[in-house]
Homo-oligomer: A and B are copies of this chain.
Amino acid sequence: MTKEKILEAHNRIAPFIHKTPVFTSSTFNALTGVEAYFKCENFQKVGAFKARGATYALSELLTSNKGNVHVATHSSGNHAQALAWAARQFGCKATIVMPSNSPAVKKDAVKGYGAKVIECEPTLDARESKLEHVLQESNAVFIPPYNDENIITGAATCALELMDEVDNLDVILAPVGGGGLLAGSALSAKWFSNGRIKVYAAEPEQADDAFQSFKSKSFVPSKNPLTIADGLKTSLGEINLPIILKEVSDVFTVSEEDIKKALFFVYERMKMVIEPSSAVAVAALINNSEMFKSNKVGVIISGGNVDLKQLAQWK
């Protein structure tokens, strides 16, 4: 995950992904006293930054495997769609193990990209054993959602674009779930700003395993996370954790109430559909705005996949 590798990844995936826009909001800046730059991965292919890592991981696989490549993963969220979509771009076969209680709209989206969906019981054990079964029965290659060097390298291209577009950023703020986006952002900040830009993470209080891992400097698993930020419920990956411990300045946690407030601020004032996981980073910046007064802060809006019916219940 060197500087050269991230640049190469960006060149490799650029023909497939969107160079997403960076938005500003004078209302947000007036409210917080921060000069904020929102990197809008909600406008990315499949509606999330996950398209970057999936595309890069698959393109790496194809450099050594010509011909009929078959990839597989288990996911109920954005990685499922991202891998299915990326596989279609490269003409590869994809099998996605999804929990039976995944919303039909998500299963349909994955099928819509031409991937095969295999349902399983909605537990991590069931997901892993069903995937193991798929891998043994076929020649499929497992593409993990975050605990993978290529996935982290692909995710790193998002902060690279942000720094390329906004000069002299002081800070980058990213949400943390499994840690792919955060580790990638931290590596990009390190390499491309010579360590000048500080990287902070944002996490729900109700799913604060990254906060606890960061403070104790050792892995703390996610236990019974109860948050509307469904993308941030997972535990940190073992490849991601040491990068985060070394390169990230701090981890902020935010309440469910603050997540909802930030979500509706972005909807009502910035006119963007974002998912709760992205609102976590916005909320963390609002809560800690005093600390970043007059700083140029890049906020990574990780995705925009949200059930609009649920949204109204949060209002």
- A residues touching B (Cβ–Cβ < 8 Å)? 21, 23, 42-43, 47, 264, 267-274, 304, 308-309, 311-313, 315
Contacts and interface: CB of A to CB of B under 8 A. Distances in A.
A196 to B, nearest CB: 29
A23 to B, nearest CB: 7
Contact of A267 (B264, B269, B308): B308
Contact of A311 (B21, B47, B270, B312): B312
Contacts of A269: 47
Contact of A21 (B21, B268, B313): B21
How many identical subunits does the complex contain? 2
A94 B163 CA distance: 41
Closest 10 CB pairs of A and B: A312-B312, A271-B304, A271-B273, A42-B271, A267-B273, A309-B315, A308-B315, A43-B271, A21-B21, A47-B271
Given A272-B273, A274-B271, A308 B264 contact: yes
Contacts of A21: 21
Contacts of A270: 43
Contacts of A311: 308, 311-312
Contacts of A315: 308-309, 312
A97 B141 CA distance: 65
A34 to B, nearest CB: 19
A271 B23 CA distance: 14
